């Protein structure tokens, strides 16, 4: 049960981002738009982010917010059973976005992906699933992973016209 109407949005955003759903959908959109290299980079970044997330959760084993955050809000819904750091949702969101944005021909698509990544990170804190420092660290790790993916799959050297 969600404690208040103001808390529903973060819980919904957080739930919709489970199991890499936004990034799989974004990959399909990229493929439909002919952005094959970006789609490949995005999938590589998601896979790498998942692996790094699993290793770090076991190494750090940080407790999740249990009873309330600094504002006195209790977690809503069923709490995750994994460690708090890092945020897998956030690492994946940032890694995907960092990996694909330089390859995209349409700036609005890049802005939409970045906005979605930011919303997911903020929602994880607002839903009292993570500490703010979990999200901050996860943003850094995800950005490094996404940029590393860019190095592994360099941008096309052939200039492409922007989408109309």
Q: Is residue 74 part of a domain?
A: no
Name the token pair of 128. Answer: 């009292």
Cα dihedral sign, 80-147-123-70: positive
Give 81: exposed, middle or buried? Use CB within 10 Å, 0-12, 13-18, 19+.
exposed
Name the token pair of 29. Answer: 């959109």
Is the pTM of the predicted complex or chain greater than 0.95? no
Name the token pair of 129. Answer: 């699933």
Residues 93, 142: contact at Cβ < 8 Å? Answer: yes
Q: Which residues of the chain have pLDDT under 70?
A: 1-19, 67-81, 156-164
**Residue 141's domain spans which residues?**
8-69+80-152
Domains contained in the chain, number: 1
pLDDT at 123 (0 to 100): 84
Q: Is residue 46 part of a domain?
A: yes
Q: Is residue 163 part of a domain?
A: no
The CA R_g of the chain, rounded to the nearest whole Å, is 17
């Amino acid at each position: 049960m969600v404690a208040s109407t103001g808390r529903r949005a973060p819980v919904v955003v957080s739930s919709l981002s489970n199991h890499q759903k936004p990034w799989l959908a974004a990959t399909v959109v990229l493929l439909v738009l002919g952005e094959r290299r970006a789609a490949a980079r995005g999938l590589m970044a998601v896979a790498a982010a998942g692996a790094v997330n699993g290793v770090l959760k076991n190494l750090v084993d940080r407790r999740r917010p249990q009873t309330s955050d600094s504002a006195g809000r209790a977690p809503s819904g069923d709490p995750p059973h994994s460690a708090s750091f890092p945020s897998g949702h956030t690492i994946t969101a940032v890694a995907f976005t960092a990996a694909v944005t330089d390859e995209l021909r349409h700036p609005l698509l890049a802005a939409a992906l970045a906005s979605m990544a930011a919303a997911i990170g903020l929602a994880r804190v607002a839903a009292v699933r993570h500490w703010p420092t979990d999200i901050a660290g996860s943003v850094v790790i995800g950005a490094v992973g996404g940029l590393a993916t860019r190095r592994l799959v360099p941008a096309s050297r052939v200039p492409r016209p922007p989408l109309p």
